[in-house]
Amino acid sequence: MDHNQTQALFFNHIRSRLPAHLSFVDEVAELLSISNDSAYRRIRGEKSLGLDEAQVLCNKYHVSLDQLLHIKSNTVIFSYDKVDHLSFDFNKFLHFVAQSLGLFNTLQSPKMYFYSKDIPLYHFMPFPELRAFKFFFWKRTVIGYPELARQQFTGADDDPECNELSKKIDELYAQIPSIDIWNEESVNVTISQIELYRQSNIFVNKALLLKVYLQLEQLVDYLELLAETGKKILYNQPHAHSNATYDAYINEALIGDNAIYVQSNNRQITFINHNGLNFMSTEDKDFCDYTYKHMQNLIRKSTHISVVGEKERSMFFNTLRWKIQERKKNIN
């Protein structure tokens, strides 16, 4: 591959990542602090791109030159912003989730795979107290917001930005065809979090504790409805079907790891969960191909419960409900 072909490939790869409404030349010129004419000359291969300029573009658009130039190595480049209460707070994390879902919706024929260790965040959005509990737990216990260290959970979520982002995430998720791979353990994470706070007297009262458990049951009912219809449906809006399909599988042999794989006609992205809320993402072709093969292998060894598999579907969701009801019996 000669120099001009390499540079053209580099710029074509970057161009594919830009939203359609943005001017590619304007973006390059602004990032490199050069004129539009100079940007054109680089894009056309008439002027060589400097290493420092390539670094700026790679950093901005998360491009791996190893991957692009097919350099064989065991290195995979990931991008991420770590969630903490100072540099990347919880609302910024929700912005990241909403932006990612927005990106998925711009892809050609996207499909999202989620291999669940916990119930995916998207599903909590329509349930106010349950959602508020998960957010409070993540902020108080996982991230460690110092101002929440001695606070009880009151069930109130009076942050307008947070509520607006939750609504946006719910609506964007409903538009993306999805495949969830479940295990009976998936609900245990949330139950364990509720029980930890119950035993530590962090719930402000028993009524709130029962309400959170009630909404967890309602969430299980909602997930069963999605699996039964095989369609994305906004909660409490039975006629608001989207064109997005919902496929669910049960895999009892392996416990999930909250990995997300997004596939489209023109792009692949893998998200790996680590340290609680943090997700690292990569578009490395070999890594994404490997992840896709792994997901397909899991699906082959799983039981399909969307639309078909009524008996298995009913047994699975009844088991989840039983787990919740057993915990509710211990509330005095």
Q: Which residue has the higher pLDDT, 87 or 202?
A: 202
In a shared domain, residues 94 and 58? no
Say yes or no to pLDDT of 6 above 90: no
The residue whose two tokens read 């719910």 is 170
Q: Residue 326: what pLDDT? A: 92
Contact predicate 182/249, CB 8 Å:
yes
Provide, rounded to the nearest whole percent, the portion of the chain with pLDDT above 90.
46
In a shared domain, residues 232 and 317? yes
CA-CA distances (angstroms) from residue 243 to 21, 104, 107, 128, 268? 25, 15, 15, 26, 21
Residue 85 lies in a domain: no
Mean pLDDT over all residues of the chain?
A: 86
In a shared domain, residues 122 and 46? no
In a shared domain, residues 169 and 26? no
The last residue of a domain, from among 36, 68, 100: 68
Residue 165 lies in a domain: yes
CA-CA distances (angstroms) from residue 285 to 56, 104, 223? 22, 17, 32
Cα separation, 224 vs 154, in Å, equals 29
Mean pLDDT computed over 191-220: 95
Mean pLDDT computed over 195-213: 95
Q: Residue 4: what pLDDT? A: 67
In a shared domain, residues 130 and 20? no
**pLDDT tens per residue across span 42-94:** 888 888 888 888 888 877 776 766 655 555 556 777 777 777 777 778 888 89
**pLDDT tens per residue across span 267-326:** 899 988 877 777 888 888 888 999 999 999 999 999 999 999 999 999 999 999 999 999
Q: Which residue has the higher pLDDT, 111 or 3?
A: 111
In a shared domain, residues 15 and 160? no
In a shared domain, residues 176 and 288? yes
Sign of CA dihedral 134, 178, 297, 273: negative
Mean pLDDT computed over 197-219: 95
Contact predicate 270/291, CB 8 Å:
yes
Number of domains into which the chain is organized: 2
In a shared domain, residues 210 and 308? yes
- Can you give the residue range of the structural domain that contains 257? 90-329
Residue 238 lies in a domain: yes
Whole-model pTM over 0.85:
no
Confidence of residue 37 (pLDDT cuts 50, 70, 90): confident
In a shared domain, residues 95 and 176? yes
Confidence of residue 239 (pLDDT cuts 50, 70, 90): low
End-to-end CA separation in angstroms for the chain: 72
Say yes or no to pLDDT of 256 above 80: no
In a shared domain, residues 323 and 177? yes
Mean pLDDT computed over 144-173: 90
In a shared domain, residues 130 and 23? no
